[in-house]
Amino acid sequence: MTAPADRDPIPRPADGDAAEPSEAEALGRPHRPSPPLGEPQAGGGAAARGLSPQRVAIHPRTLLLIRWIAVLGQFIAVLTVHDALGFDVALLECFLTIGALALSNLWLWITAPPGPGRMAEERTAIVMAFDLVQLGALLGFTGGLTNPFSILILGPVVVAATILSRRSAAWIIALALFVATGLSFAHYPLPWGEEPLSLSPTYVLGLWTAITVSLVFIGGYIWSVTDDSRRLSAALGETEAALARERETSAVGALAAAAAHELGSPLATIAVATKELKAEVHPDDPLREDIDLLHEQSERCREILAGLARRPAGGAGGAADPFERLSLTALLEAAAENHVPDGVALAIQTEPGAKGPEPEVARRPELLHGLGNLIANAGQFARSRVDIRLAWSEERVRIAVKDDGPGFAPQILQALGEPYMSSRAGREGHLGLGVFIATTLLESIGGRLAFQNRRGAEVFVEFPRAALASAGGAPKLDG
Long-range residue pairs from 170-178, CB within 8 A, at least 24 positions apart, any chain: 171/125, 171/129, 172/125, 172/128, 172/129, 172/132, 172/219, 173/215, 173/216, 173/219, 173/220, 175/129, 175/132, 175/133, 176/132, 176/215, 176/219, 177/212, 177/215, 177/216
Kindly state the helix (H) or strand (E) to which residue 170 belongs, with its residue range: helix 166-185
Whole-angstrom CA distances from 58 to 20, 121, 163 are: 48, 9, 7
Say which CATH topology domain 23-52+324-469 has: Heat Shock Protein 90 (3.30.565)
Domain ranges of the chain: 23-52+324-469, 60-239, 241-318
Q: Provide the 10 A C-beta neighbour count for residue 220.
A: 16
- Which pLDDT value is given to residue 208? 87
Residues whose CB is less than 8 angstroms from the CB of residue 119 and which lie 6 or more positions away in sequence, other chains included: 57, 58, 59, 60, 63, 112, 113, 127
The whole-angstrom separation of Cα 297 and Cα 376 is 42
| Per-residue pLDDT at 227 | 75
Residue 390 and residue 328 in contact, taking contact as beta carbons nearer than 8 Å: yes
| Measured distance CA(455)–CA(222) in Å, rounded | 41
With residue 461 as reference, give the H or E element that holds it: strand 457-464
Q: How far is CA 448 from CA 29, 165, 379, 463, in A?
A: 10, 34, 21, 7
**Per the confidence metrics, is the pTM higher than 0.95?**
no
Distance CA 216, CA 44 (A): 32
The full DSSP string for 358-380 is PPEEE--HHHHHHHHHHHHHHHH
pLDDT score of 218: 87
CA 315 to chain centre: 35
Q: Please tell me the predicted confidence (pLDDT) of residue 175.
A: 92
From the list 117, 116, 73, the residue with the least C-alpha distance to 98 is: 73
Compute the Cα dihedral for 2, 329, 242, 410 and give only its sign.
Answer: positive
List pLDDT tens digits, range 374-392: 888 888 888 888 989 898 8
Percent helix, strand, coil in the chain, to 5, is 55, 10, 35
Dist CA 128 CA 174 (whole Å): 12
Angle in degrees, CA 109, 110, 116, rounded to 5 = 65
**Measured between alpha carbons, how far is 363 from 333 in angstroms, rounded to an integer?**
12
Give the amino acid at 291: I
Cβ-proximal residues to 208 (8 Å cutoff; 6+ apart), any chain: 145, 180, 181, 184
Signed CA dihedral, 411, 413, 419, 424: sign only? positive
Residue 438: HSE in the Cβ half-sphere, 13 Å Cα cutoff? 33
pLDDT tens for each residue of the chain, 479 residues long: 333 333 444 444 444 443 444 444 444 443 333 333 334 343 333 333 333 444 445 778 888 888 899 899 889 988 888 888 878 888 899 999 999 999 999 998 888 776 666 778 888 888 889 989 999 899 888 888 888 888 888 888 888 888 888 888 889 889 989 998 888 888 888 877 666 677 778 888 888 888 888 888 888 888 888 877 777 777 777 767 766 766 666 666 666 666 666 777 788 888 888 888 888 888 888 888 888 888 888 888 877 776 665 554 444 334 444 556 788 888 888 888 877 888 888 888 888 877 778 888 888 877 888 888 888 888 888 888 898 989 888 888 899 998 888 888 777 776 665 655 555 544 443 445 677 777 777 888 888 888 888 888 888 889 888 888 765 543 333 33
Instruction: Write phi, then psi, for 41 (nearest 5 degrees).
Output: 55, -130
CA distance 220 to 213: 11
3-state secondary structure of 392: strand
Question: Where do the DSSP E strands lie in 211-364?
Answer: 325-327, 345-350, 360-362
pLDDT at 98: 92
Per-residue DSSP letter, 311: S
Helix or strand (DSSP H, E) at 179 = helix 166-185
